[in-house]
Structure 1
């Protein structure tokens, strides 16, 4: 029963993610357009290398997501195909006018079809999860690049005061685009992450409870639950981690521009500089549907909730 409940919960979350991505596709397209405009402002080779490195890390992250999920599907098949007829089950429950569990051919055939369906679900779930995380990584990298640009303001002696002022205004516009990207991320990823966070606490609790009920000799089922537990942990940890990274980097923007050579500039420059300092004093703290903060504190709260539910089940 627990096996089917946690799998059904995962399928529901995948459906919610698919609907959320479809309904917010305009926001995603707008985000990508702003990112393209930010990319067009990158001319330094070190910054180009940094952005390419970020994209490569995103590709590796997709593969690292994919391995445990595929392992979960394989372990689910092995767990069920080698079970006894009286304990056989599918990942989804169907009503048939015959005893499918006692008929090996029907059971294996249905299991094969469900394996294909689960694999397709996994591929989409991994793509949906990594897509949002990669966007967070790209946003953090653009914050890094902006910090380098702001730190170098006013350093070039061959530039005129007007040119220094224009560089500052360009940095302000880049910062405003980054803020727009953060708001678009909140609106496009909010529903999917909210569903994920709400379900993850319950799934982690039931998975941990099931681990205490499985006999050590039942290795296939034990392996499946452990890998599934780690997958659910990864789904909530990775976005929370990169949300915290973006938060910490955004807090340094004001310090970086303060390190620039602003003291030797004219009054107009200093006035714009003061406004930018005040504007950047509020860090980019992403939220999930205005309910959860997308940072590691939320991850710890989910784990705390899962442990509280686990302790309640153990004591009942």
Structure 2
């Protein structure tokens, strides 16, 4: 490098923060390792990082921090002392989210690849989230997460679990009934009669849900294959509008909620295993009786890390 006479080299001392870009069936995230909880990411900075034109681009931002360094993490540790790591998840607009099923898989894959944990294939790891402790098993080609029990958000309003709200969305000519389900975060699932209706939706604009769950809701639109169940496995196609994000290529908790709702509507013709097709790929959802006597939802799918970089400033 040549310098003008009398000039001196300028050393860039701007602090940097390493990050990784990853995705689970197209649901993409910026991941940051912050074991001791020293990084302070304001909502405005998170929104900047997630911006697809002036930032890195992502549906959400995940900070990997040891549970002991967060109030929410310490709450999880009280019930699950083995949950050393906490998934501090934020939506793309910077708002706090309780849980993200695709994000959990990518988060654990990030911990494995960055050698923050040792998790051989077939082994399970417990992590902390704002929806409680979650057990994640590493498989040969992905990860399976015990998402815990599901529930109707308002059983009384659901009127025998048929529907609890009416949903309007751009691309539908009329309001459709929806069923609101909790997977630790809120979802409203709307059945459609054909794949063509699903494809006609414009989901960048938030659907209108009436009445809306108290803390807002993610909205999943689903259409079933014919036959609905084949070989003991239910098959549906799904698109989703996520709170604070917009339409995403996938939503793990949304896939679980969609399978739960379809299973309710199908009644005796339903199944305990489901394949949920999303724009970013396919997710497997299973309903199992857990040791606590409750029915749990297990979500399985792939996780990928795409590239590493550094944030400046």
The structure with more radius of gyration: 1
TM-score range relative to shorter protein:
under 0.3
Q: State the TM-score, normalized to the length of structure 1.
A: 0.24
Q: Considering fraction of residues, name the structure with more strand.
A: 2
Q: State the TM-score, normalized to the length of structure 2.
A: 0.24
Q: Considering fraction of residues, name the structure with more helix.
A: 1
